[in-house]
Chain A
């Protein structure tokens, strides 16, 4: 597989770091491929523009940071303004129109995904927005298997909370074209 380099950015508390961890963990523990995850520490992780870098690959990963991501997620205007220029030309840019207004066109495939609105309309709990984002990232990149994400979520959540998160995950996949090419049944 190609090395997939992702940067998740937003504001502290939006769940961008947790999303990155769940994705990388799914790759390592359940897909049995290589992944590394790192994140910004300090005050910016508690507000301001927080950031988490993930690399997923079947090869050994030495340098763990992502100077030029294939996939860039920006969940606040501040994060977009700060990080949008680092995207690899032709990469995938994911934003939520509730938070980000695009001012200039980038040499990237831009997906404006109404994550917040869809989650509020269909689930009503803003806390699961990050799982919806995870679904959209999965749908667009197919970088890990759907069932691996589910297993990774099960490590963290159970009962009703797990159910809501799984619903949000599916919603996220649906927002970017649905389950075509994703093996949902092979659990």
Chain B
């Protein structure tokens, strides 16, 4: 089968990726700038036999996808800042109960209702620490429609593999931009289906007893096994426990299953890093502007490079450290007050060479903005 060429918005590229990955349940509450995801799925999903539900709010949307995932569906919801805030409590539940799900947050300016129709990348830390309690999480992003498609498929695969919520942190510019997308024929990108228990009916099934490799086979809720699911610390049967050994064992498992696989989960792209004296670290739409500067300055022989991060959490510290080792300057290009810059600073050998090129007024950071900051960093003045 041939690939199919489309001219679509980034939000629609995310929809194409989700459908390719086998999405069969979506619950959501449309909100700018993510609305096109719900809009498009409202007619695309039922056509392939899936379920689309418009919920009364984002709290119930998150709860609905958790329930649907437990029954064996591949699930997703999509929102923006205010809705993402409302989802935090049940997001923690999904972390605790180890329920695969994909949450798309097409970022807009915040806090609160903020600036709905304009770009921001201000939810990076919220994706990491928005829900309470010690935990680990996966958050990914992309800057082009082809990458949005690929990373969405990836998000489903990771979510099913590690039994974890995966957050897709898109932004308004990528979400609303129209550009080319090639949807590959089915089968081109491998899909990972969740591990299901081999225990048959009548055999005692332990929903939270990890195998030797750390993975927990699932049984579809409403199927042949009865088991408990809770947000409390729980034993291998899923029943609440305050046994210190059980509590410590579970938190270690929840954190380790992600943190021990940082490099496996890391997705990134690199441009001209080999000999780069100044390396830009960026992600999402900002990486497009950064790449524009890198490509145009390379023509003049300036040794600029770009490290585009696609996995933001767990933060690929080792990769960032190694890639940036020989750079004189590291310029973090992002649309917030330095959320990823702080992570880059704590990753590299010399935090003193890390600078921030940002913009926080709702207007997309342009190559000119970056070039102006670059001049100052390079000691050329304004």
Contact = CB atoms under 8 A, between A and B. Distances in A.
Contact of B179 (A28, A39, A63): A28
A180 B288 CA distance: 38
Contacts of A36: 177-179
B366 A28 contact: no
Contacts of B295: 62
B7 A24 contact: yes
A94 interface: no
B21 interface: no
A149 interface: no
A38 B5 CA distance: 19
19 contacts: A25-B178, A28-B180, A29-B5, A34-B179, A34-B180, A35-B179, A36-B177, A36-B178, A37-B177, A37-B179, A41-B33, A41-B117, A41-B176, A42-B116, A61-B179, A62-B288, A62-B292, A64-B288, A65-B364
B7 A29 contact: yes
Nearest to A65: B364
Given A42-B118, A63-B292, 9 more contacts: A28-B5, A28-B7, A28-B179, A38-B173, A41-B172, A42-B116, A42-B117, A61-B179, A67-B368
A21 B179 CA distance: 10
A65 B288 CA distance: 11
A41 B289 contact: no
Q: Is the contact region of chain B dominated by helix, strand, or loop, or is it mixed?
A: mixed
Interface in A32-89: 34-42, 61-65, 67
Interface string B279-296: 000000000110110010
B288 A21 contact: no
**A interface bracket (residues with beta carbon within 8 Å of B):** 20 to 34
B193 to A, nearest CB: 33
Contacts of B118: 42
Interface in A19-33: 21, 24-25, 28-29
Given A24-B7, A38-B173, A65 B178 contact: no
A35 B7 CA distance: 9
Q: Is the contact region of chain A dominated by helix, strand, or loop, or is it mixed?
A: mixed
B131 interface: no
Contacts of B116: 42
B178 A21 contact: yes
Q: Which 4 A-B pairs have the closest CB atoms?
A: A42-B117, A41-B117, A63-B292, A62-B292
B232 to A, nearest CB: 43
Nearest to A67: B366
Given A41-B117, A42-B116, A64 B32 contact: no
Contacts of B289: 62-63
Interface residues of B, number: 23
Interface of B: 5, 7, 32-33, 116-118, 172-173, 176-180, 288-289, 291-292, 295, 364, 366-368
Given A62-B291, A63-B289, A64-B173, A37 B178 contact: yes
B367 A25 contact: no
Contacts of A63: 288-289, 292, 366-367
Contacts of B180: 28, 34-35
A156 to B, nearest CB: 12
Interface string A75-110: 000000000000000000000000000000000000
A184 B289 CA distance: 38
A8 B90 CA distance: 44
Contacts of B32: 41
A25 B7 CA distance: 6
A64 B7 contact: no
A41 B291 CA distance: 25
Nearest to A37: B178
A28 to B, nearest CB: 5
Interface centre among A24, A25, A35, A62, by most chain B C-beta atoms within 10 angstroms, is: A62
Nearest to A152: B7
Contacts of B177: 36-38, 64
Contact of B178 (A38, A42, A62, A67): A38
Contacts of B172: 41
Contacts of A28: 5, 7, 179-180
B165 to A, nearest CB: 28
A61 B179 CA distance: 10
A88 to B, nearest CB: 14
Nearest to A61: B179
A39 B176 contact: yes
B367 A38 contact: no
A28 B182 CA distance: 11
Contacts of A25: 7, 178
Contacts of A62: 288-289, 291-292, 295
A21 B292 CA distance: 23
A34 B7 CA distance: 10
